[in-house]
Chains A and B, each alone.
Chain A
Amino acid sequence: MKLTFFFAALLPGLYWDLGPNTADTVKPASIERLFVPPAQQSAWTAAGIPVKAFDITQFIKLPSPGVERRMNVATATSMPWVDANGWRIERDPHRPYYYDVPWRHAALAAAEAYVYGAEAVVRLEPRDLSAFSQMLAFLKEVDLPAMPVLANIGIIDDGSDETGEVFNLLARRNLLYRIVRSPEPQYDLNIQIGSKEFPKEEALDPFAFATLVRQKLTDEKRYLRIYGSEVVLGQLAGDAKRLRVHLLNYGGGKVEGLRVRVRGAYQHAKSAVFGIDNAALADFGHSDGGTEFTVPRMGPYAIVDLE
């Protein structure tokens, strides 16, 4: 394991373009990084509210995080398509990002940006301001000093769209990876698309490629398994003694009974679940070199700390 990345404690900012006459709406939200259109900056400042001018050209716009339900008629079951941005942020971690999200997506966008250490600004539906503000308060409360990200897989990024889609599919399936410049021995599997082991033509079908990667890695070695939801993506940070499990629920609703398995035997656990006071884990135990627990109920974001 190597210190390849650190979570940043920079909380997402808010882009608010409704004008200083809405100051009474914004003030209670206690937003620390408030962005406004350049033309409104002086009026906001005059109203006593510190703001920054928002220059959209300086930001990379991200899709709204969430899911799309697409019926798969062949299996008579629904396979949700998850729109998640972690792979985009990891590919270019030092750029500032911008979300423009519909109602009920702002809290998830804030959590996603935080988990992947992005400097981000969120434009939201005004009725989402309270949820966004509550998420920022939650993130502030749970924030810890940076820890290294844990992953099974190192991938060399050739910058192509195909490789980007591979990142997307690996993340979607909780096959934890890091982008590397060259193969690194601490990873269970190193991938260079175009190599003999991972031919470029295989990557043209990202779903099949992710399956190939999973087979080569084997489920037994995976740092993270998630059971009971197809729409929760995880990220791990920690070291040999402690581990922080980030769980992002892209489904929009509550997830109940989420079962999580992490590699390694941890003895103590505590959780923080956005929107739920005093959340406790259930059915904590160990088996086959792993630690398992259940998150009884969660909304867009939950954290589990293991020691």
Chain B
Amino acid sequence: MNRRAFLQSAAVTPAVLAARLGDDLPKYRIVSQYQPAAQPGMPGPYPGKVVRVHSAKSIDEQTEKVDAAIVRDMISQGMRALTGDADVRDSWARFFNSGDTVGIKVNCSGAPGIMSTPEVVGEIVRNLTGLGIKPSQIWIYERFQNQVNTVHYDRFVPADVHIWTAEHDRGSIAGYDPRTYVDVNFFGEDDTRSNLARVVTEHVTKIINVPNMKDHGAAGVTGCLKNIAYGSFSNVARSHAGFKTNTYSFIGTLASVEPLRSRTVLAVMDGLRGVWHGGPFSPNRKFRFYPKQMMFGTDPVAMDRLLLDVIDGKRKTEHATSVWDRSMAHIKSGPGYDDNPRIDRFVREPGHIEYASTLGLGVYDLAKIQTRKIEL
């Protein structure tokens, strides 16, 4: 292990954490040549602060048609409430300038049923170009080409915006940086590396994280942390085997890797649609719901803490197992999970959000999270 790798490893395994969790955690080795920014993007300038904007008219539940004008208003109000500026342009200018190359980490794992809504992404791009950032300096990115192909972001953004995926062919690691990775052996797999997407290390200076509000069969929920972590690294599905998943510690560990942590400066959680069971995929519409809200912040832990209650609340309403339920009685392999919300495939690990807070990625304690709610 070289010195930089050692220092990063030391940074993510503080003694207090080791004492609490003992030897149960996998042994992670982070290799990166990048140093953290003076103020890393996560949790950024607004730790523990979340703005929630709700509009009942933002999406039609029958047709799933999104009202772009309302989305524009939601984003404007959300950003201004987050920064305290009167002019939304000033809000965006706190994070970005014309010299930046900006990545937009979308989530298309549930596409075409649910994804970072093109109207939302289009409005984010519009605000960025309003700061003088050229379309060619904007990179919408995701891991898998086949998923992005179903969304057609190109119809909602200027032609020169890059729409980039790490894996044109599923499983290829050519789109990942061979020198920036997390090495860990979970279950005896031979390929023990998860590499960071090249777009993060080689192209962008800042990243906007645009997750959805979704249940996740392994992690409990998938929001800011999982989207930026599992969505930016290769070879992450290996963290699940049998009923066991290592999402508890892997998600936060990945999110803490530089330069991903420093460059991810803003999160816009797209909760126009949501998935309350079967996530992160959404082949079955009966498990989709419509929170009709968006969250804004720089603290992924605080935002995901609120998301936990959204998803678990909906699951309770639907008489599904709680995301906190660790009973083996509900765990079954095979196809039943896809159709039955009282069946789980893995022991869920919603604790991954609290774990990420111990890595310094944000505020987990609800009592310390300041939530501003806006109703349109």
Partners in one complex: yes
Which chain A residues border B191 with CB–CB below 8 Å? Answer: 226-230
The secondary structure that dominates the B interface is: loop
Does B178 lie within 8 Å of A292, measured CB to CB? yes
How many interface residues does chain B have, given as a range?
A: 20 to 34
Give Cα A294 to B193, complex, Å: 14
Choice from A219, A285, A292, A296 contacting B174 with Cβ under 8 Å: A296
Complex contacts, B192 vs chain A, CB 8 Å: 219, 227
**Bound: A283/B174 CA distance, A:** 11
A227, B173: Cβ atoms closer than 8 Å: yes
Q: Size range of the interface on A?
A: 20 to 34
CA distance A77 to B237 in the complex (A): 8
Interface flags for A157-180 (1: CB within 8 Å of B; 0: not) read: 000000000000000011000000
CB-defined contacts of A258 to chain B, threshold 8 Å: 173
The proximity string for A residues 210-229 relative to B, scoring 1 for CB distances below 8 Å and 0 otherwise, is 01001000010000001111
Are A256 and B174 in touch, CB under 8 angstroms? yes
A277 CA to B1 CA, complexed, in Å = 36
CB pair A256 B169 closer than 8 Å: yes
Interfacial residues of chain B within 191-213, with CB under 8 A of chain A in the complex: 191-193, 195
From residue B237, how far is it (CB to closest CB) to chain A in Å? 5
CB nearest to A220 among chain B residues: B1
Whether A283 lies near B241 (C-beta < 8 A) is: no
Q: What is the CB-to-nearest-CB distance from A272 to chain B, in angstroms, rounded to a whole number?
A: 19
B2–A287 CB distance below 8 A: yes
A255 and B240 CA atoms in complex are apart in Å by: 24
Q: Would you give the 0/1 interface string for A275-303, flagging 1 where the beta carbon is closer than 8 Å to chain B? A: 00000000101011000101011000000
B176 on the A face (CB < 8 A):
yes
From A73, A253, A294, B178 is in contact (CB under 8 Å) with: A294
Tell me if B238 is interfacial: C-beta within 8 Å of chain A.
Answer: yes
A sample of 11 more A-B contacts (CB under 8 A), given A73-B333, A257-B173, is A74-B333, A77-B237, A174-B190, A227-B178, A228-B171, A228-B234, A230-B190, A256-B173, A257-B174, A259-B178, A296-B174
9 A-B pairs within 8 Å (CB atoms) are namely A77-B237, A214-B188, A254-B169, A257-B178, A258-B173, A283-B178, A283-B179, A287-B2, A288-B2
Binding site for A on B (CB under 8 A): 1-2, 31, 169, 171-176, 178-179, 185, 188, 190-193, 195, 234, 237-238, 240-242, 333-334, 345
